[in-house]
Each structure stands twice: as C-alpha cells, then as structure tokens.
A and B are shown apart, each in its own frame.
Chain A
Amino acid sequence: MLAWTIYLSFIGAIAVSIMPAKSAAAARITALLTTLLGLGIAVVAVAQQPSGQLLTIARKPWIPTLGIEYHLAADGISLVMVLLTGIAAVAGVLFSWNIDRRVKDFFALYLILIGAVYGVFLSFDLFDLFVFYEIAIIPKYFLIAIWGSTRREYAAMKLVLYSFAGSALVLAGLIAAYVVSGGRTLSLDALAHFPFPAHFQMWAFPLVFVGFAVLAGMWPFHTWAPTGHAAAPTAASMLLAGVVMKLGAYGCLRVAMMLFPHGLDSWGFHVLGFGSWQQVFAVLAVIGIVYGASIALVQKDLKFVVGYSSVSHMGFVLLGLMTLNQIGMSGGVYQMFSHGIIAGLLFAVVGRMVYERTHTRDLPELSRIPLARLIPFAAVTFVLAFMASIGLPGFTGFIAELEVLIGSWRAFPWMSWIAGLGILIGIAFSWRALQATFFGEAETVSEPLPAITLPERLGACLLLASTIALGLYPRLLMGLILPALNGPLFEQLRRSGWR
C-alpha cells in the first residue's frame, strides 16, 4: 500500500507530461489529486501502524547477480517522514496554483521529485535508497533554473553540484560497505547487523555522514541552501527546505549512524580538543545553529532570512542526532518533521503571499507597504509561523527543540548553552523580519494587492493545523519514533554509544 505513494507520483508525472499542451488546469488538478492520494495513503499507514514496528512493503530480487533487492519497508521514522512528505507535497501544489509558464513541465518535475523523496524514505536496500536519492536531484535543478528568481541558474547549479559532491561521498562509502561485508547484499537490515571492522567504520562513518549532511545543510557545507531557497520558486523552496534537507538528515541517521555506529566512538587521542567524530559533528551542528541565526539577523532579503533560519533549525536536527541518547535523537527526528512543516509555511508566506504580490523581498522596501492591512491573512499566518519557528509551546518546534536541548544537556552540557543562545538570536531575527514585513511604519497609502486566493488559504491552514495539532499531541509521532529507535535496526548503535 505505502509503495503506491511512489508509484502514484511517478504515474502522475507521466500523466501530466503526456497531456495536450494547453491543459494547464488539468495538470494542476492531476498534481493535486496525486499528492492528496499520497497524503491519504500516508495518513492511513500512520493510523494503521501506531506502534512503529518495521513493516515490509515489497521485497523482490532486482539484480540477483549482485544480491541487490528491490526492498521497500517502513519503520516509525520512515512513516513520520512519509507523512511529512505527503503534507508538504499537497501544500506545495496548492501554493503553486498560480504558475502559468510551462505548467505541465512544472508539475511533472514536481511529481518526480515527490516520488523520489517517498522512495528514499521507504527504501530498505542501500542501492534503492541511493537510486531514489539521485533521481531527486535532477528535477531540483530544472525547477529552480526554469521557474526561479534571483540568480536562478547559478543557484540551481550550485545546489546540484553540492548534492552530487555529497552523493559521491555516499556512493564511495556505500560501495566500500558492500565490498567489506562480502559483496552479497545491500539490504539495510542485513548490513545493520553486520559487524564492520572498527577501523573501517572510523573512516566510512564520517565519509557517509558528511555526504548526507551536505544536503542537511550542515555548516560549513550549507551555502547551497540559502541561495537555492532564495532562487527557487515557492513550491520548490517549500520542498527543498521542507523535505529535501530531511533526506540528508534521514540518510545521516539511517545509513551513517545505523551502519557504522563505532565511527562515533572515541578516537583515543585528541586533535584540537576533539576526541571523536561525535564531538566534531556536534560542534559543527551548534555552529550551524548560531551562525545561521546570526546571518539571518542581518539579511535584507526576506527569503534569505528564512533560508538561513533553515540552516539554524537543521543544526538542531544534527545536534539531536549527535547526542546519542534517546531523548535527543527522538527530538532530532521530531525536529525534522517540525521544521519541514514550519519552513514550508514560512516560504509559502514569503514567496507566494508576499513576493508574488509586492515583487520585492527587500525588508526596508517591504516596511513601507502596509502589508498587515492589505493582506491580513498573510500577516496572521506569518505571525503563527514565526511563533512555531521560535519554538513557542503549542507548536511542534517547542517539543522538538526542548528534547534536543535536554538530550544535549546530558551529552555535552556546555553546548546546550550555545544552542540556547541560538534560539534567542532566532527570536530576534524573527521579530525583526516580522516587524519590517508586516508591521512597518507605512507612510504611503498604496494600492490594494490581489486578495489571498482559496488554494493559498487551504495550504496555509493545512500546514498550520499540522504544526499545532502535532504540537499539542506529540505522542502521535513520538509513538512512532521511539519504538523505531528502540527497534532491532538500531541495536548496534544502542550497544555502542547509547548513553
């Protein structure tokens, strides 16, 4: 059943691309129906599988000569990510309802991207995972380069080259793992129990972790993210920040940490005060949190503010993963979900509601337009989104960041102080952006802007409802994440470094 999220998206993409040239409305509706069906399947799967046990969906030999299988499965973490993808996909279609140039191409590429993202989250064979991971890269390029804004071709090329650099590292580690384990299988559950030699894990872990973390926006490999997000069309930035960055974080957890847990062990010596890869990556994550927030504080372009805030929030995901304790890691996974929804919302307001009406993202210029009076719906959405983003109680961001902070307090106390500082800066830049955009001292009486359309209202409500509902009732997702982290797949990780 869950596998149909992938197939439906690809079928939808083919259907959209073979439509007659003039059928823009049909392409939109097909895309909406396809993503709605995907979301429906994801919701049903979550409802049916509240315990988060590993569920095998499909398992067939694919390339028997090499022992490669077509193996789809889902544990609680995959389900959470699939649910996020479903929500973000529907919202993305709603917020790109107004695309009027090459509509068919847009939705075809969009659906290929969605299908590939579902594929990554559901793959339990490393080969499949990598194949879907790479398929996701190509549509990103064209979505940004064709429909983007500010320096779109530069940003698109930068994004895909970073992605490919990351995936080259991943592929190297993956082939090495395949060869070292005897060259018989690439199945995740078999490799998760294979005792890789410790010295091999010591270099394979950082290779694969960094490879995936490039896409997760880890400092100092984050620079593709703000430029890419700023250049992309609204739906593409929503997906980029919402789910594509999660692909990277998911890969870090699912592949690097699950297969090579001993890579996190102490080196036995110290370089510049670092004693293990765990400390190195935790420090990089904390730098990302503070750095992203500080840069967001001084940006003049509204989309860059949100872009750098993504870097900051993804820092929490990586910090959570690096705590290596249950509360921190589950917080990290929860933050993946939370940030996916909130970043989608922020980009929707900034890109679709504000920029496409005012044609400027410059904060001083925006402050001269009385946006709160002209488009009050956007103002309310933006306020709520930033409240969620800075982690006020009642939203998903609160649970996630709180858990990460508690986890990191146990693992490395002094780092939680710095991460907490990052949250404070986050409040500052949110306040500044909010004030300049919607509540600036408007002097001029400007012409009315086009009203907020129905698809926009629906999309915003969907995202807001998700973040509030799951913020008030976090047990729904935690009930999926915790059993998965305590499941047999993470046994090696628990045994080696769990504190």
Chain B
Amino acid sequence: MSGYVDLLRLTAPEIVVTLAGLLLLILDLSLLRRASLAARFRSAVLIGCAGCIVAVLWLERMAAQGALPAGMLVVNSLTQLLQLALLALAIMVLLLALSARFTTHAGEYCSLILFATVAMMLLVSTQNLLVIFITIEFLSLSLYVLTAFDKESSQSAEAGLKYFLYGGMSAGILLFGMSLLYGISGSLALEPIAAAVSSLPSDPLLTLGIVMVMTGFGFKIAAAPFHMWAPEVYQGAPTSSASLVASSSKVASFFALFVVFSIGLAGAAGSAELGNHSAGWTGLMAVVAAASMLWGNLAAIAQTSVRRLLAFSAVGHAGYMLIALVAHSRQSLIALVYYVVTYALATAGAFAVLGALEDEKIDSIVDFKGLAKRAPDLSFCLLIFLLSLAGIPPLSGFFGKFYVFTAALNQGSHLGLLWLVLLALATSMVSFYYYLKVLKQAYVAEPTAGATAIHAPASKRAICWIVAALVVLLGCLPDLLLNKIAAAVPNAFR
C-alpha cells in the first residue's frame, strides 16, 4: 500500500501535468466545440500553462524525494531541477502554439505537448532500463504525431513519416541492446547492472549491448551518424513541435544517456585519452562526438534553409555535449546540465523567432534580408540566440562550452582529451561562419524592394525577449544556475 502512496507522492508533478492535458482535451472536445479556433487554442494553452505552473510550484514548495525499488523512480534535487527546466520549456512551447492556425485540433495538439513533457519528466527520474525504454517510446510517439500534425503540409507529413521510420528502427535496436544488458546482469536496475558489468568488462555480448544502446540514444540526441531525421523534422514540423524536439527532448535524452552510461556501465568505460587509450564506451562516444562535430558543422555550411541549418548545428552541439559524456565525471555532469539547459533555451529562442516570422513564409537564409529594418527587436533576439549558439561571450553558450572543455581536460592526469577539445574548438570556429551568414542577411543586407515592416504577435515577441534576457543573464552570471546544479549533483559521481 505504501508503495502506491510513495508513487503518487513522487510523481505528483507528472500527475498534475497529465490531468491538465486530459482536462484541456475533454473541454476542447465538449464545451468548446462551437467556439472559434482562436478561443479554443487560447483556453487549451491557458489550461496547459496552468498545469505546468502548478507542477512548478509543487516542485518548488512541497517536493518529495526518494526512490522506488529497482530504480523504477529516482527523484532527487537534480532530477527536480531538470523537471523544472522541462516544464519551463513546455510553457514556452505552449505559448508559441497560442497563435497556431495550421490545425483545427487545438485540444489534441496542446495535450500532446503536455504528454511529451510528462514522458520527459519521467525519463529524467528513473534508473531502470524498462522505464527508460517505455518513457522514450512514450516521448517519441508524442513527438511523431506532433511533427506530422500539419495535415495541409506535405513537408510535415514527410517529416513525421521519416521520424517515425527511423525512430521505430532505433527503438528496436535500443530494446535489443537493453535486453542484452539484462541478459548479462539479470537485472533491469542500473546499479545491479553496474556491479555485473564491472565483474566481466570484456564480454563480447556486453560490447554488442553497449553499441546498440548507444545507437538507440544516438538517434534521440541526433548525433552523427544517426541524425538523418533531424533536418526534415526541423524543417517540416510545425514551429512549436520543432521547438519541443530541438530543446526539451535534448535535455531529457542527454541526461538519461549520461545516467545509463555513467551509472550502469561505469565499469566498461575504458578511456579515450590520447596515449592512455583503453577499450570501452568512452572511445565509442568520443568517435561519435568527433563525427557529430565534424559532420554537423560542415554540413550546416551548405544549407540554404535556416531550419535545416539549425538541425545540422544541433548535430554539432550534440558532439560538444558528448564530450562531457566522454569525461563522465561529477564536474562534467554539472557542465553537461548547464550546457544542455542553456542550449535548449537558445534553440527554443531561435525557434520562437522563426515562429514569430511564420506568417512571412520565411525559410531560406536569403529571406532574412534586411530583417533588422523590418523587425528590429526580433532580429536582435535572433542575434543573441545565434551568437550564444556560436559560443560568443558573455552569452550563456560560451560559458557552457568553456565549462564542458574544462571538465574534459580535467579528466585523467595529463590532458588526455585535449585532441577532442581542439577538434571542438576548430569546429566551433566553423560554426561561427554559418551563424554569421544568417546574421549577415539580417543586418548587412538591405531589405528587398517592397518589403514592409513585420508585425509579429505580441505574445511571441514577449517570449523572444524573455528567453533572450535569460540567455544573456545566465551568460553574465552563470553562478545563478551553476550553484543550483552543483548543489544538486550528488557527490557520488567522481
């Protein structure tokens, strides 16, 4: 009996969000049938945001911490911090959907955003392979539908199908890998797996399992060479869906990846340090990181669509974040959480700007011509977001990179990961080129003749400003977030 009480206590925020999702769905399907589309979206977003805010308050005020048996649910201050970030991003995505007109299914769309958020909240607070798999599937199914939601657009349908096919395949691989880990250790919880792994570090089945789990996660985080879905989804999906895929799903997946590998598979880590190499998953991770940084940043140069450019830059950023996984220390976990949260903010902000420009049919880079004159405030926000993604101080993206690289060099005794850091610095220089290409159109080029000023909805402009302010604030005073993360990360991590 007390098991159920514990479960309800620990998952109260998730329950609140789920109830909000169900409530807005029911209201939309019953009372609001005859209301106008705008009113339906407004009420759905309102209820959704209210649910998220209640969950935030719950987490702030009366959060319970604890764990369920077999690592089914592990709630601590770190997971709660991540849940707060996920909820904040969900509120942002909902507000972005406020003026959406591409669908008549307001209730379904908003409730799916909430359900995806619930899945991510559960994903960050579990240390059990089965729950991880189920929440990933729950998340992915919501995201597939959200991606394909624009029924009028063939691009959206293509993106949804591509996402679904790749996703389904990679889910199968992930599950196979997990079943191998289960077969070796006889347990689904990460801690017993860790014990079993360290007793037989060089089992070929273990190697196979690790590679397959890495593949499955590589798909979720869009690391090369598992990133094929990303450009289509970023380009074809409705803006708010794309924003969810690009920001909060990255936060949750990266954290889960870190937990699985650094807790469950710590015994098989090996070393990717130059001159001190030994076989293990860090070597694999380092190769994937290097491939992502190179391929993502180089392919982004060739893109003409801004959304596709953001997708390839996301691949590059996945590479930088994987460096933190290669280092897998306490410091690198702090760095990773800081990086992924600020990265999610900047990306979500960039998508908010794209969302505000939605009515102008702006997609290709040349459409940004003279944006600084047509919409000065939006283009200034875009400048902040892109420079933060490029890693220019004093914006938060710079400090994230600085800290991840510091954590990587701190690993080992003789700067063994320097090669990875040098590669990352070289590719981030490349990334500056393509971000600047967009900013050049916005600031240097004159608007085409006849182009008028853009009047974006106030709600979207407000989101852009708030997120931009956060990006600047967290860059100038990183300790605001860093202290919270450092206090929450248990000392158990080396």
Residues on A close to B: CB < 8 A?
A: 62-66, 127, 130-131, 134-135, 137-138, 141-142, 145-146, 153, 157, 160-161, 164-165, 168-169, 171-172, 175-176, 178-180, 183
Contacts and interface: CB of A to CB of B under 8 A. Distances in A.
A135 B425 contact: no
Given A66-B403, A157-B433, A180 B393 contact: no
B393 A130 contact: yes
Contact of B432 (A65, A160, A180): A160
Given A65-B482, A134-B398, A175-B402, A180 B425 contact: no
A183 B440 contact: no
A146 B373 CA distance: 13
Interface stretch (B18-26, B162-170, B405-413, B450-458): B405-413
A64 B444 CA distance: 39
B364 to A, nearest CB: 18
B444 A175 contact: no
A172 B478 contact: no
Interface stretch (B49-57, B254-262, B414-422): B414-422
B183 to A, nearest CB: 40
Given A65-B482, A176-B409, 9 more contacts: A66-B403, A131-B394, A135-B392, A135-B393, A142-B444, A161-B429, A168-B426, A168-B428, A172-B421
B444 A153 contact: yes
26 contacts: A63-B478, A63-B479, A65-B482, A65-B486, A131-B393, A131-B394, A135-B394, A138-B387, A141-B436, A145-B440, A153-B440, A153-B444, A157-B433, A160-B436, A161-B429, A161-B432, A161-B433, A168-B425, A169-B425, A171-B402, A172-B405, A172-B425, A176-B418, A178-B406, A179-B406, A183-B406
Nearest to B428: A168
Contact of B443 (A146, A160, A164, A180): A146
B36 interface: no
B375 to A, nearest CB: 15
B440 A164 contact: no
A157 B437 CA distance: 9
B30 interface: no
Contacts of A160: 432, 436
A168 B430 CA distance: 11
Contacts of B478: 63
Given A160-B436, A171-B425, A183-B406, A138 B482 contact: no
A12 to B, nearest CB: 18
A164 B405 contact: no
B406 A175 contact: yes
B491 interface: no
B405 A64 contact: no
Interface string B130-166: 0000000000000000000000000000000000000
A164 B410 contact: no
B60 to A, nearest CB: 22
B409 A175 contact: yes
Interface in B437-494: 440, 443-444, 478-479, 482-483, 486
A238 B189 CA distance: 65
A135 B392 CA distance: 7
The interface centre, meaning the residue of B418, B422, B432, B440 with most chain A CB atoms within 10 A of its CB, is B432
B468 to A, nearest CB: 15
B415 A164 contact: no
Nearest to B401: A171
A64 B486 CA distance: 12
A178 B410 CA distance: 9
B402 A64 contact: no
A18 B428 CA distance: 32
A172 B479 contact: no
Contacts of A63: 399, 478-479, 482
Contacts of A172: 405, 418, 421-422, 425
B394 to A, nearest CB: 6
Nearest to B421: A172
B387 A65 contact: no
Contacts of A62: 479
- In the complex, the 6 A-B pairs of residues with the closest C-beta atoms, listed nearest first: A168-B425, A131-B393, A179-B409, A145-B444, A164-B429, A65-B482
Interface in B345-401: 387, 392-394, 398-399
Contacts of B392: 134-135, 137-138
Nearest to A144: B444
A134 to B, nearest CB: 5
A212 to B, nearest CB: 15
A146 B410 contact: no
A165 B486 contact: no
Nearest to A204: B415
A62 B482 CA distance: 12
Contacts of A131: 393-394, 398
Contacts of B432: 160-161, 164
A97 to B, nearest CB: 23
A495 to B, nearest CB: 25
Contacts of B443: 142, 145-146
B157 to A, nearest CB: 38
Contacts of B402: 127, 171, 175
Contacts of A146: 443-444
Given A135-B394, A164-B429, A172-B421, A180 B444 contact: no
A13 to B, nearest CB: 14
Nearest to A166: B429
